[in-house]
Structure 1
């Protein structure tokens, strides 16, 4: 009878948990790519989810820079002990947080949840000195600044686009922007997969290295091909199921979305996510698209944005990193006793 070592069993559990997180991430963040196009009826829900699923898959297989950042910039996986339990605690924390916020229909950040979970679990296991502060701060800066940039870009793009079509008939522009939304939603789906799925690739690679299953003479992190493919498929499958509670929030509760504003928001967020992906920095697709919608809404009519709901979302953004960090540290303490 085949006998597996405890480390192999924990690694298998970590991979299952990581791919589950990726699936939930796709399920949770489907709204980022398709909410505005569904809200304006540019796409039917079924068609929008199909497009998002396929392009999430393609995007996830295109880059690895963000995966390497997640795998090596928060902490050095080559130097950590008990790394498998650290990753297991981080993933448990992130998944629990994703499910809680999904249940209440709040578009919180899967990225913040995962990064907060990794940092909290590392601190719980080895103390604050084990955190690579320079790398961690660069990641947090990207998470903070990307939605601010998205708000500004959304504000500017809707102004420019509105000026370009100011003298065109309203119904004609509506029809045209519904068609353009197919392209902008597609780009956004691709960029979402290119950034978000890499985070799971990075965390699995982190587990493989810290658990002693991967080595590197140069200290460079390489993402195994099976990790890339499995993470991409898990993300695409999760996207195919959709997160309808959050789609409802993103698609209409923040502001009333028209085709021109939906296109502008999608274009803004896809552009920002793509730029940060090329810089090998993780961002929250939820934060970026929500901020783009807020920027577009604020440029048209300040009162058109439901700032009360926006404030509620902002509070969730602020508390996600510390909440998941504390939860992950607690999970590590429990797992370390029993595993």
Structure 2
């Protein structure tokens, strides 16, 4: 189990002086990104449960608030490998005070990208935006040498594996359910899948917090590190309990704002699911997210859940999926890395020049 430590800020190299303006801005932006993630990304976890009418929107959202908070807090306490991967994916070392400015620029770019995606109702991945933003800013400061190829390999592996497991799992579980429950009355089956989907939706919300909460905790620790308020070991940071609680609460607050645009796009417009298909999609996504969290692979919860929904829909018949909406989503995912990365690159150059 990862230990939890508390840092005595007064004994750091800055002699207990007030935090720099750049650090305050960075922490504010991290909290902004975490809030936006809970607002725009977390609804994916409960989209299918709402669309199949297993849960009412308000009930689902408040369940997601609680489970996001618990996932970010509990999973990070026991296993913070995802946060370590994110904190090691780039380096601004040697850049002096400009490191804080560059980190702030990357976060600002992420907020801009995420809010634009929410406005148009497109479930673009906050995880991909975070990685793209950090990478763009790091390259603006130190070129390709500032990017860790080993950690980026985990991102690519996670992207491929989550696609295969999401779509394949949704398809396979749906087929298995069709075979197993073929002689069970519809009333009994619906009762089983109502309970099952409520539980699996809660699992998805918990694991969304575990995955995405940790990613932003890793960035939070980078902000502290570049102001000499955190120490980095060979395996990354030891995340203090107060950071876990702060990020978890902020994500939960963002989720409480709601996200019916995303719920509608993912759970209602893309494919019309029956309850057994919703359960299949939620279960396969939860399994994929759990394994990724345990092995420290940063995957997109949006990507995983959406492909699982596609697989569950396609298992019944391919025509049940609105592939035009799928095409829009895939286009948004493909644009996130170069688009958000380019915004972060330009903003970093601009911010460093004026600050």
TM-score (normalised: structure 2): 0.90
Q: Residue in 2 aligned with 1:110?
A: 126
Task: Compare 257-266 and 137-146 and name the one that shifted more.
Answer: 137-146
Pairing partner for 1:48 from 25, 38, 60: 60
Pairing partner for 1:254 from 255, 266, 270: 270
Q: Residue in 1 aligned with 2:8?
A: none
Q: C-alpha separation between the residues in 1 aligned to 2:130 and 2:232?
A: 25
1:267-278 aligned within 5 A: 267-278=283-294
Pairing partner for 2:195 from 179, 189, 194: 179
Count residues with an aligned counterpart: 335
Give 1:212 shift: 2.8
Pairing partner for 1:10 from 5, 9, 22: 22
1:1-339 aligned within 5 A: 8-62=20-74, 63=76, 64-72=80-88, 74-76=89-91, 79-81=94-96, 82-216=98-232, 218=234, 220-339=236-355
TM-score (normalised: structure 1): 0.95
Aligned to 1:202, what secondary structure does the other structure show?
A: helix
Q: C-alpha separation between the residues in 1 aligned to 2:18 and 2:143?
A: 24
Kindly provide the CA deviation profile for residues 255-288 of structure 1, in whole angstroms up to 9, marking residues without a partner as x.
1011100111000101100100001111111000
Aligned to 2:20, what secondary structure does the other structure show?
A: helix
Q: CA 1:133–1:36 in structure 2 vs 1: closer, same or farther (change >3 Å)?
A: same
Aligned to 2:33, what secondary structure does the other structure show?
A: helix
Q: C-alpha separation between the residues in 2 aligned to 1:84 and 1:140?
A: 27
Aligned to 1:127, what secondary structure does the other structure show?
A: helix
Q: C-alpha separation between the residues in 2 aligned to 1:233 and 1:105?
A: 24
Give 1:237 shift: 0.8
CA RMSD, aligned part only? 1.7
